[in-house]
Amino acid sequence: MSRADVVVTGQTAGASTRASLRRWIAAIFIVALIVRLLYVVMVVRLDAPILMEYDDGGYHVLAQSIASGHGMGRFGVPTAAKSPGYPWFLGACYALFGPHPAVPRVAQAILGALTAALLVALTWELGLGLASAVIAGLIASFYPSAIYFVGRYFPMVLHTCLLIVAVRALVRWGKRGTTGDLMVSGVTLGAAALVRSDTLMLVPLLAGTTFLLRGWQRQALVAAVALVGCVAVLYSSWVIRNLLVIGTPVLTTTQASGTTWEGNNPWAQGGDILQADVLARYTDPKVIAALPPDKREQLEGLQEIRAASQQWTEVQLDSSYKALTTRWRAQHPAAYWLNHLRKIAVFASPWPGQGGQVLWRYRYVILVSSGLVMSLGTVGFIAARERGPGRWVVLSVAIQALATAIIAFAHARYRFAAEMAFIPYAAFAATWLWSRMVRPPSRPV
């Protein structure tokens, strides 16, 4: 066979593989969509009432305000209590199709299916092979947490979809150096930050990763600056809005310090605890007097916040929670940092740390899936160390998720994106381990 014949044969084989990849991406999208639609129709029910007592209710109220043309507000009062991306997504659904809970649920089913299909494409871009790409798509199609969040008013489905688009585009830029891929990564990363503000911590990590993708050269430096700049331009619209409407340039939300306090207080123990739960626990003055100093100080601060909650603005309330956390860290540093160590242990364990009773019936299913994906993903990441630097982009997502859990609290919503991003390497680990079992590597004589 001549050299020309070899080239033609290789091109034909490559075209055939790409065609197979496209067919699998379409098939995975259809499978994942069917699974999610069946879930929201048969388990959640399309017309099921919104859980107003949880975050779902808060997002619903904001979406109604946006759909009616009044912007981010609650009962006519402008707010920055939530990041704007997800309420605007819900508001768009309401504006187009009416304020019916079925519309966001179907839209999220489509986004979840798209994420599964994107994970097939990401696995391929990472150089992990077609078999791993198909397995990654199947895992994502049936992943319990990904299916569960489709039926709730939580930003995880939208955020993860945007994040996977950003990661895949940056990996493609690392391989091809195309400006379009870099811009797609920057825009979707900025959009993801507007959906969940903790994504801002990922931006410098990904900017640094550009040097692992392209080497220490001028092109990588320009790309890093462009990535940060793109996110900054998009995100600044939220900060400017807060300055103009609320009077304070709130960077993230006016609940950021309150959320941070929930995981950084004497009762947290590596997880989270709500102010209402603490106040309900201590009503007897004798019990309060017997509390250790750190708990008694925090309780007095919470009682003050509750008493003034009707008079203080969102910014004042959030500053009060920040003062409580700062005081506990300064006066009881050993307990504060011990709590951080507990968070790391919870985050790294297979147990997803969901919290609450809503997910109780799914808890062990999620435990198995989360534990397998994170464990296999780690094995796959190590086994694929010679398959290019694109994997460092995925590792950045895991590092950011861990950092968020440490700063706030160890909760499933902060590791969900990392679990999904590690699915390609979990799939690769499965194929890699299978190949070792079927055909063990030969030993030198």
CA 297 to chain centre: 34
With bands split at pLDDT 50, 70 and 90, how would you rate the model's confidence at 48? Answer: confident
Q: How confident is the model at residue 441, as a pLDDT?
A: 62
At residue 98, the pLDDT reads: 87
Cα separation, 31 vs 137, whole angstroms: 9
User: What's the pLDDT score for residue 24?
Assistant: 95
State the residue for tokens 């050299």: 3
Q: Which residue has the higher pLDDT, 173 or 442?
A: 173
- Please check whether residue 344 lies inside any domain of the structure: yes
Q: Is 78 helix (H, G, I), strand (E, B) or coil?
A: strand
**Which residue range(s) make up the domain with 287?**
260-339
Rounded CA gap, 76 and 426, in Å? 47
Residue 6's pLDDT is 39
Candidate from 7-11, 35-39, 267-271, 408-412 with smallest mean pLDDT: 7-11
Does residue 220 form part of some domain? Answer: yes
CA-based radius of gyration for the chain: 24
Query: Does residue 438 sit within a domain?
Result: no
Question: What is the percent of the chain with per-residue pLDDT over 90, rounded to a whole number?
Answer: 66
Higher-scoring residue by pLDDT: 200, 48: 200
Phi first, then psi, for residue 300 (nearest 5°) are -60, -40
Sign of CA dihedral 147, 142, 188, 232: positive
In a domain, 439, yes or no: no
- Same domain? 349 vs 254: yes
Evaluated on CA atoms 368, 370, 373, 375, the torsion sign reads negative
Calculate the CA 434 to chain-centre distance. Answer: 30
Q: Do residues 362 and 148 make contact, with C-beta atoms less than 8 angstroms apart? A: yes
Task: Identify the band that residue 363 occupies on the pLDDT scale cut at 50, 70 and 90.
Answer: low
Q: Taking residues 208-228, report their average pLDDT.
A: 93
Same structural domain, 178 and 205: yes
Compute the distance between CA of residue 345 and CA of residue 406 in angstroms, rounded to an integer. 10
Residue 443 pLDDT more than 90? no
Report the DSSP pairing between strands 77-78 and 73-74: antiparallel
* Domain tally, the chain: 2
3-state secondary structure of 77: strand
- The answer, yes or no, to whether residue 260 has pLDDT greater than 70, is yes
Q: Quick one: 329 and 357 in the same domain?
A: no
Rounded-to-integer distance, Cα 63 and Cα 72, Å: 8
Q: Is residue 229 part of a domain?
A: yes
Please tell me the distance from the alpha carbon of residue 186 to that of residue 203, in angstroms, as a whole number.
Answer: 9
Helix (H, G, I), strand (E, B) or coil at 191: helix
Q: Amino acid identity of 366?
A: I
Adjacent-strand bridge partners of 77: 74
Tokens read off for 48: 């099921």
What band does 55 get if pLDDT is binned at 50, 70 and 90?
confident
Q: Which of 274, 305, 339 is the last residue of a domain?
A: 339
Read off the pTM.
0.90
Same domain for 232 and 344, yes or no, is yes
Instruction: Indicate the residue among 273, 306, 339 that finishes a domain.
Output: 339
One domain, residues 316 and 357:
no
Q: What pLDDT digit, counting tens, does each position of 111-149 carry? A: 999 999 999 999 999 999 999 999 999 999 999 889 989
pLDDT band at 365 (very low <50, low <70, confident <90, very high): confident
Kindly state the tokens that stand for 390: 């694109």
In terms of domains, do 324 and 348 share one? no
Residue 186 lies in a domain: yes
Alpha-carbon dihedral sign for residues 92, 96, 98, 101: negative
* % of the chain surpassing 70 pLDDT: 91
Whether residue 111 is found in the same domain as residue 246: yes
- In the predicted model, is pLDDT for residue 267 greater than 80? yes
pLDDT at 7 over 50: no
Please indicate, yes or no, whether residues 238 and 290 belong to a single structural domain of this protein.
no
Pair 284, 249 in one domain: no
Residue 280 inside a domain? The answer is yes
Mean pLDDT, residues 67-94? 93
Q: Residue 324: pLDDT above 80?
A: yes
Do 320 and 378 share a structural domain?
no
The pair of structure tokens assigned to 83 is: 């990041």
Q: Please check whether residues 335 and 367 belong to one and the same domain.
A: no
- Please provide the average confidence, as pLDDT, over all residues in the chain: 89
| H-helix or E-strand spanning residue 385 | none
DSSP 39: I
What DSSP line would sit under 51-75, residue for residue?
Answer: -TTSHHHHHHHHHHHHHTT--SEET
Final residue in a domain of this structure, among 308, 339, 370 = 339
Angle of CA points 437, 441, 442, to nearest 5°: 135
329 in any annotated domain: yes
Q: Are residues 153 and 181 in the same domain?
A: yes
